[in-house]
């Protein structure tokens, strides 16, 4: 059994001052850094959108951020422009230890489809390749930290469980957007899926 630390979207735009700031997003950096040396493998995910990404409210006339629309693959929350490829907002938090990372996995780069999960895009079928990487390296036990608890962490954890990986979520090292009860819903969903929710 080998374990991987999956650090989800610890990027400037999700931290205070960023375009889609998650309250307290920067508070978890030190705790995440401290976990890195204890993992057999470290994966960083990076939300990585083209400037005209369809998840941006700016691409839909008359729509505002945090409103929901129907996309061909289902409901989609519209976000402020964030994590645009190559921008400072898409860069990792400056204090995050990125050098020890074995893999940096970018997602959300297809213009017409969002990708919350680190495993599958929001159509729930287009793979990111992470499953193959983890399996090829024999990494069976995954610990999740990062942003945001109720979106990218949540969907990554649910997919990990569907694929048969063991999943622990360090809830103390995640922070949530919490849109219309999404944090409670995500917490229930992750627990029901068999993830271990830990506070230390």
Helix-, strand-, coil-residue percentages of the chain, each rounded to 5: 25, 30, 45
Per-residue binding letters, 77-106, with Zn ion (x by CB under 5 A): ------------------------------
Neighbouring-strand partners of residue 76:
69
To the nearest whole angstrom, how small is the minimum distance from the Cβ of residue 139 to ligand VGL?
21
Which among 15, 185, 192, 3 is positioned nearest to 96, based on CA atoms? 15
Site for Zn ion in 134-163 (CB under 5 A): none
Q: Known catalytic residues?
A: 9, 107, 152
Look at residue 119 and give its three-state secondary structure: coil
The piece of 28-36, 39-47, 69-77, 162-170 that touches Zn ion (CB under 5 A) is 39-47
Residue 172: how many CB atoms within 10 A of its CB? 14
Tell me: does residue 21 bind ligand VGL (CB under 6 A): no
Give the nearest distance from C-beta 123 to ligand VGL in angstroms: 15
Cβ within 8 Å of residue 26, ≥6 positions away: 15, 16, 93, 95
29 vs 40: CA distance, rounded Å = 19
Q: Based on the shown chain and the rule CB under 6 A, indicate whether residue 13 belongs to the binding site for ligand VGL.
A: no
Least distance between Zn ion and beta carbon 38 (Å): 28
Show contacts with ligand VGL in window 138-157 (CB under 6 A).
147-148, 151-152
Q: Is the dihedral of CA 135, 138, 143, 147 positive or negative?
A: negative
Of 94, 93, 63, nearest in space to 80 by CA: 63
**By CB under 6 A, residue 6 contacts ligand VGL:** no
Question: Minimum distance between the CB of residue 150 and Zn ion, rounded to whole angstroms?
Answer: 13
Task: Confirm or reject binding of residue 158 to ligand VGL (CB under 6 A).
Answer: no
Q: Which residues bind Zn ion (CB under 5 A)?
A: 47
Q: Which residues bind ligand VGL (CB under 6 A)?
A: 9, 14, 47, 79, 116, 147-148, 151-152
């Amino acid at each position: 059994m080998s374990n991987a630390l999956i650090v989800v979207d610890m990027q400037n735009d999700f931290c205070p001052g960023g375009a889609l700031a998650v309250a307290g997003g920067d508070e978890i950096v030190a705790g995440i850094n401290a976990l890195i040396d204890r993992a057999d493998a470290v994966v960083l995910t990076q939300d990585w959108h083209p400037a005209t990404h369809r998840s941006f409210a700016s691409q839909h006339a008359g729509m505002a951020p945090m409103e929901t629309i129907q996309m061909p693959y289902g409901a989609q929350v519209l976000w402020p422009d964030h994590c645009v490829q190559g921008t400072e907002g898409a860069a990792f938090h400056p204090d995050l230890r990125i050098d020890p990372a074995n893999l940096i996995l970018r997602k959300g780069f297809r213009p017409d489809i969002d990708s919350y999960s680190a495993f599958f895009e929001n159509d729930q079928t287009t793979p990111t390749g992470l499953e193959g990487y983890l399996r090829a390296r024999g990494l069976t036990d995954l610990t999740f930290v990062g942003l945001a608890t109720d979106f990218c962490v949540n969907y990554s954890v649910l997919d990990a469980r569907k694929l048969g990986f063991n999943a622990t979520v360090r809830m103390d090292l995640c922070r949530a957007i919490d849109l219309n009860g999404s944090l409670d819903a995500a917490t229930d969903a992750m627990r029901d899926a068999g993830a271990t929710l830990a506070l230390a």
